[in-house]
Structure 1
Amino acid sequence: MVEKAHTAASERVFYRDIKPYDAPTELAELHGPSAGRVVLPLNVYWGPAHNFDLDNESDVVEAYQATLREGRVEDQAMILNPDLLVSIWPELLLPVRVRMLWEDRFPALAAA
Structure 2
Amino acid sequence: MDAYGPGHQHTAEREASAPSRWGPASGQLPSSLVELAGPTCGLVDLPLHLAWSGLRTFDLGDDKLLLGMYRIVLSTGLRDDYLQFLDGDLLASHWPRLRKMVGRGVRTAWEDAFPPLRPRAGQAAA
TM over 0.5: yes
Structure 1 segments of 4 or more deviating over 4 A?
Answer: none
- 2:40 pairs, out of 34, 37, 44, with 34
The one-letter code matched in structure 2 to 1:18 is R
**Alpha carbons of 1:103 and 1:91: their partners in 2 closer, same or farther (altered >3 Å)?**
same
Q: How does 1:1-112 map to 2 (within 5 A)?
A: 18-19=21-22, 21=24, 22-92=28-98, 93-111=101-119
Do the aligned partners of 2:50 and 2:77 also contact (CA within 8 Å) in 1? yes
Alignment length, in residue pairs?
A: 96
Give the equivalent residue in structure 2 for 1:14: none
TM-score (norm 1): 0.78
Q: Distance in 1 between matches of 2:116 and 2:60?
A: 21
TM-score (norm 2): 0.70
Task: Tell me by how many angstroms 1:43 deviates.
Answer: 1.3
Deviation, structure 1 residue 111: 4.3
- Higher helix fraction (1 or 2): 1
1:34-60 C-alpha deviation (Å, 9 max, x unpaired): 111111111111123211000000001
Helix, strand or coil for the counterpart of 1:52? Answer: strand
Q: How many Å separate the matches in 2 of 1:27 and 1:33?
A: 14
Q: In structure 1, the residue corresponding to 2:55 is in which secondary structure?
A: coil
